Structure 1
Amino acid sequence: MKKTMFTAALLTAAAIAATAQAADQSPWQIRGRALIVLPEEDLTGVSPSIPTLDVSISDSVVPELDITYFFTKNIAAELILGTTPHNVDTSGPKLDLGHIWLLPPTLTLQYHFAPEGKIRPYIGAGVNYTIFYGQGGEGPGVTDVSYDNGFGWALQAGVDMPISEHWMLNVDVKQIFLSTTATVNGAIKADVDINPLLVGFGVGYRF
């Protein structure tokens, strides 16, 4: 009888320990970052042709939220959410194309090299879909500007540095390969590579 009770107690303790370990290894993680957005713009084509035309897109600093789900200790998927404003103008001729907001949700598949280490680097790659909205503020001579939404690719590298059982510091860099077609005054079409470099600093929480 005593042996049976002792065995049952051991099994109960093992089950409680397993449950606690499972709770500690929740697959869900969130991060909040301050994100520096650095467009690497390039004008690849204009119709009708204006050989001297060039485009400039301003940098931006915005908050960002990401949600990560771990399929295994090493493999995870991350959804990155944020929106960023930019001013756009051209030179040769000089035109103020006003401001535009970008909403670029990005989904990456990641590999985490040292998920239980004191420093936890990871890399990722994925897909981006950018929505352009909130156009306005155009300068003289510009009555209307529109941008085509579209898909792009993303590469990612970062590192998590745990500071407690659940909390961590994070540094993350992403390169988004993004192109759009801008239409000015309903007549001039310009193919633009935006290709923003995203540099983020923040904190994360593993549930």
Structure 2
Amino acid sequence: MNKGFLFAAGAVLAAITAPAHAADDYQHWIVRLRAIRVTPTERTGAILPSFPTAHTGVTNSYAPEVDFTYMATKHVGAELILGTTEHDINGRGALDSLGKAGHTWVLPPTLTLQYHFLPDGHVRPYVGAGINYTIFYSEKASGALQDAIGKTKLGLSDSVGYALQAGVDIDISRRVFVNLDLKYLDIDTKARLTTGSLVNRERVHLDPLVPGIGIGMRF
């Protein structure tokens, strides 16, 4: 696994395992369940060497997301974000007539270190920054693509990148609240299309915006 990811994960874990004081009078654990939309702001390169005037686009996706936050102090917390989404990959440029060229599932576990501005308020804004390790799985080339160029295997490389976050918790009761959240994830991958002995490659910068709305509880 990437050393930068391990270093960042260690820093976040150090923050969440810092000893708590006996006089603490706040809830240390927060759990949220959100409905999210993953909206790639992708930039894609040419598919080389066979299709220099073609590239791809990636569709939006909706999914549930769960996160767990440990508040080391009233203001500072660490959040682990978990969710997975499915995306279609569409042909663009010279491959536009294909429509769907493939699909993939994406799993981007993300760790952020957060600062909460008004921990005792009924409206509690926060910002965060951290790291995501993105895993692509169940990739598959579409039938339309394989009809056009032959039996093809699609693969996408995993990615390590940064994450930025901003949001707000709005109380319903002392423990239960509504959450609004927005994340930006730096996700870069290399697509590999293997057709017999021919290998085509494409660089893909997904970099999605991830707005979400949900409900949470403090423990």
Q: TM-score, normalised by structure 1?
A: 0.85
Query: Which amino acid in the other structure matches residue 165 of structure 2?
Result: Q
Deviation at 1:140, TM superposition (A): 3.0
- 2:64 is the counterpart of 1:98: no
CA distance in 2, matches of 1:155, 1:49: 36
- 2:130 is the counterpart of 1:126: yes
Identity %: 45
Query: Which amino acid in the other structure matches residue 122 of structure 2?
Result: K
CA distance in 1, matches of 2:181, 2:33: 11
Contact 2:34 2:66 in 1 (8 A): yes
Deviation at 1:202, TM superposition (A): 0.3
Deviations 1:156-186 (A, max 9, x none): 0000001101000000000001100000125
| Residue of structure 2 equivalent to 1:7 | none
| Residue of structure 2 equivalent to 1:180 | 189
Deviation at 1:47, TM superposition (A): 2.9
Contact 1:97 1:145 in 2 (8 A): no
Deviation at 1:49, TM superposition (A): 6.8
Deviation at 1:62, TM superposition (A): 0.2
CA distance in 2, matches of 1:115, 1:175: 23
Report which stretch shifted further, 43-52 or 99-108: 43-52
Which ranges in structure 1 are unaligned for 5 or more consecutive residues?
Answer: 1-18
Query: Which amino acid in the other structure matches residue 204 of structure 2?
Result: V
- 2:203 is the counterpart of 1:194: no
| Residue of structure 1 equivalent to 2:170 | 161
Correspondence 1:1-207 to 2 at 5 A: 22=24, 25-44=26-45, 46-48=47-49, 50-94=51-95, 95=98, 96-136=100-140, 138-142=142-146, 143-185=152-194, 187-207=199-219
Query: Which amino acid in the other structure matches residue 43 of structure 1?
Result: T
Deviation at 1:139, TM superposition (A): 2.5
Contact 1:41 1:55 in 2 (8 A): no
Deviations 1:29-58 (A, max 9, x none): 100000011011111454327442231111
Q: TM-score, normalised by structure 2?
A: 0.80
Q: How many residues align structurally?
A: 188
Which ranges in structure 2 are unaligned for 5 or more consecutive residues?
Answer: 1-21, 147-151
Query: Which amino acid in the other structure matches residue 169 of structure 2?
Result: D
